Amino acid sequence: MKCRVCRGQAVIDIRRHNAAFCREHFFEHVQSQVKRSIKTFGMLAPDDKILVAVSGGKDSLALWDILLSLDYKADGLYIGLGIGEYSNFSQEKAEVFATSRGAHLHVVNMKDSYGYDIPQGAVSARRAPCGTCGLSKRYVMNQQACKAGYEVIATGHNLDDEVATLFGNVLHWNLDALSRQRPVLPTEHGFVKKIKPLVRLGEREMAAYCVLRGIDYIVEECPMSEGNTGIRYKEALNEIENASPGTKHQFFFGFLDRGLDHFSEQAGVSAPELKSCSNCGASTTGEICAFCRLRQMATDPERVTVGSPSFRPRRRH
Ligand code: AMP
Ligand code: FES
Ligand code: ZN
Ligand code: ZN
């Protein structure tokens, strides 16, 4: 296996690009894919203050590393979810990385700052842990970014994540989620701009990047995500990709080019009116936002405010 660029010994092959790369040219490939996403989707201006949401996993640590190596001003945010050893180890990985790069990492502990952790929140709200976790993380990321004056939040969602989400949204014809499944969500209604610069890179490439760059990350999956439908979709999609490399890329980028606008236009016509959450002021379609309701159920179930039946957060990703 020879490097596509220099014909030296390759360390990785990427079948959907029909290419293999040596260590040096693989780093160049990864950087160029991120630069291409940033440019194509208008993700960043050179001086933007970026908050990278880091989980301690390969994708978000690699993303932070890439943004720093491209000379962006990027700090990290780790959210302590209270999922036992898994949370302790992942926090440690994020901290070790930050120290090694002399980068600033904000750490917010859900229990200390918001009064509940994910296992407890999921039980109290009678919701699946991943739903509770996703809602909490999105809210906390936005609140921390606003508080500390960051212009952009960057997350480590990669091509495999986006394809699995798209697949699930199509299977269930979740029109609302389809209308918002884009690599950039602009600043609006009190939400800080959100970007996913790794959308052109797959899971395997991100793991290889970390290993080759000497980035130590948490390999274990979250113990609460067992049986999660997203994981099943990824397995099914991997089988299809193995048989026809490039299918995932075509599915996702084909959707962005030819499908997304239809869903966005429809969503614009039927968008419910936005109000301010009576508790925290965040934009919501009900009286009280989904996060405040979850937090009330988890910390003070006796005093849960009844929201309108259609209440939901305006933005999910
Ligand atoms: P997940 O929702 O676990 O698929 O993670 C998607 C992205 O959310 C990651 O790539 C990170 O950017 C971010 N993220 C996940 N967990 C955390 C966490 N505990 N703290 C901060 N950001 C996180
Ligand atoms: Fe959120 Fe596991 S990381 S439920
Ligand atoms: Zn090479
Ligand atoms: Zn609220």
DSSP code at position 50: E
Q: Is 296 in the pocket of ligand 1 (CB under 6 A)?
A: no
- β-pairing verdict for 275-276 and 283-284: antiparallel
Q: Is 93 in the pocket of ligand 1 (CB under 6 A)?
A: no
For Cα atoms 224, 230, 235, give the angle at the middle one, nearest 5 degrees: 110
- Per-residue pLDDT band at 220 (split at 50, 70, 90): very high
Q: 157: closest CA among 13, 17, 317, 291?
A: 317
The residue contributing the CA closest to ligand 1 atom 22 is 53
Could you read off the pLDDT of 50-88 as tens digits, one per residue? 999 999 999 999 999 999 999 999 999 999 999 999 999
Q: Give yes or no for residue 296 having a pLDDT over 50.
A: yes
Q: Is 129 in the pocket of ligand 2 (CB under 6 A)?
A: yes
Could you read off the pLDDT of 230-270 as tens digits, one per residue? 899 999 999 999 999 999 999 999 999 999 999 988 776 66
Q: What percent of the chain is modeled with pLDDT above 90?
A: 84
Measured CA to CA in angstroms, residue 293 lies from 176, 206, 290, 297 at distances of 21, 36, 5, 6
Q: How far apart, in whole angstroms, are the C-alpha atoms of residue 96 and residue 130?
A: 26
Query: What token pair was written down for 37?
Result: 């996403």
Q: Is 81 in the pocket of ligand 1 (CB under 6 A)?
A: yes
The residue contributing the CA closest to ligand 1 atom 14 is 55
Q: Is 201 in the pocket of ligand 2 (CB under 6 A)?
A: no
User: Rg (Cα) of the chain, in Å, rounded?
Assistant: 20
pLDDT of residue 226: 79
Q: 3-state class of 152 per DSSP?
A: strand
- Per-residue pLDDT band at 302 (split at 50, 70, 90): confident
Ion ligand 3: residue ranges with CB closer than 5 A: 3, 5-6, 8, 22, 25
Mean pLDDT, the chain, rounded, equals: 93
The residue contributing the CA closest to ligand 2 atom 2 is 222
Domain ranges of the chain: 41-216+228-272
* CB neighbourhood size of 208 (10 A): 20
The residue contributing the CA closest to ligand 2 atom 4 is 130
Class in CATH terms, 41-216+228-272: alpha beta
Phi-psi region of 302 (alpha: psi -120 to 50; beta: other; left: phi over 0): alpha
Burial of 288 (0-12, 13-18, 19+ CB in 10 A): buried
pLDDT of residue 272: 76
Q: 175: closest CA among 284, 307, 269, 309?
A: 269
pLDDT of residue 6: 98
Q: What percent of the chain is modeled with pLDDT above 70?
A: 94
Q: Indicate the pTM of the whole model.
A: 0.93
Smallest-distance ligand from the CA of 139: 4
